[in-house]
Amino acid sequence: MKFKIHRDHFSNGLQQVLNVVGSKATMPILSNVLIEAEGDTISLTTTNLDLGICARIKATVEEEGAVTLPVKRLATIVKELPNSDVSVKASPNNQVKIASGGSNFKIMGISRDEFPALPEFSDDRSFTIEQSTLAGMIKSVSYAQSSDETRYMLNGVFFNFLEPEEGASGRLSLVATDGRRLAKTDHEMEVGEGMSGSLILPAKTVSELVRLLDKGENLKIAFNDRRVAFQIHTKDDSNGFVGDIHLVSKVVEGNYPNYQQVIPKETHQRIKVERELFLQSIHRAALVTTDKSNQVKIQISNNLMELSASSPDFGESHESLAIDYSGPDLQVAFNPQFLMDPLKALSKDELFFELKDEVSPGVFKTLESFLCVIMPVRLT
């Protein structure tokens, strides 16, 4: 194998596949990137057996071939090379020579034969969606994923593709919950007859997917009972990417809880709030909270919302907001971070906050098919 490549293109490609490799790989080969030179591109592939990624970069290939190299060390070397032109040559014993300007490196690799192939499966259940749409949807719910490893089915985002019902079109629902809050968003899309299905995307894959979703216009999702694949379209621009980036992941096995039971069926007191103003007020009110006293009290009366917090060690805070409200007086308390997370994730400034009483959940809603249910904390 022998090829020449632009240093920045090589570095960009390695950065895209680097995160998949864990710090404690179970086998040496899993710390390596598979480099395959063919035609006028090189492909870079990494995997940890649960998650795999492949990206193609334009290059001048003189001899086709393949080898695997330690990806983290290679990425560091390539990034520091002095010249924009990089020559890479692999010998039959898997030793690779890298040259750029006056710099020369020899790195021992491992044969491609030991590298586990990324799984392939049919497109029996596949969908296309805009990258920006999916990125926004994931951002609006992913903060609610659980980090409790004993509740592994909640350690990810639930994707639910639903066929059209009478009077409604097909849609994709994304849901995340940790048991104390639940976020859900919907997007209308074409879901053909017999194509409905669902999967739980692991948290690690969620973060990788979000990182990749700015490369082009669309992406394709294909999945079965055990795995999901994302084919992410890339623009052929100055970054050197060619074709699509492929991300393949295991799904979280098991059935996602019936999240519909958590969503209040009735609307009680509905308050229109300005997202940014509300977020800033909560943030300021929470500045005096501590781990022992981590709550913000919300008091609502005629055309007025008051936010307050206190802690014995630190002091007190108080914020007032004018609102359009003429219902009964209410008082309820929430974990301030649980209030701020959805407010930070959304982009629309018009938001509705629904409340019932101090023991019932609060619900954020937008006009664009988003809701977030937040359980209250006991008033102190």
Among residues of the chain, what percentage have pLDDT more than 70? 98
Amino acid letter at 96?
V
Helix axes 131-141, 336-345, angle to 10 degrees: 170
**In whole numbers, what is the pLDDT of the chain averaged over residues?**
93
In this prediction, residue 238 carries a pLDDT of 66
Q: What is the DSSP string of 81-125?
A: -SSSEEEEEE-TTSEEEEEETTEEEEEE-B-GGGSPPPP----SS
**What pLDDT band is residue 270 in, cutting at 50, 70 and 90?**
very high
3-state helix, strand and coil shares in percent for the chain, rounded to the nearest 5: 25, 40, 35
What gap in Å lies between CA 374 and CA 363, rounded to an integer? 6
- Better-predicted residue by pLDDT, 237 or 21: 21
> Residue 379: pLDDT above 90?
no
pLDDT in tens, 136-187: 999 999 999 999 888 889 999 999 999 988 777 899 999 999 999 999 999 9
Taking alpha carbons only, the member of 279, 303, 302, 295 closest to residue 358 is 295
pLDDT of residue 236: 63
Gap between the Cα atoms of 322 and 276, Å rounded = 14
204-234 pLDDT, tens digit per residue, is 999 999 999 977 789 999 999 899 999 999 8
| Bridge partners for 32 per DSSP | 70
pLDDT band at 193 (very low <50, low <70, confident <90, very high): confident
* pTM metric for this prediction: 0.92
**146, 156 contact by CB (below 8 A):** no
What's the confidence (pLDDT) of residue 371?
96
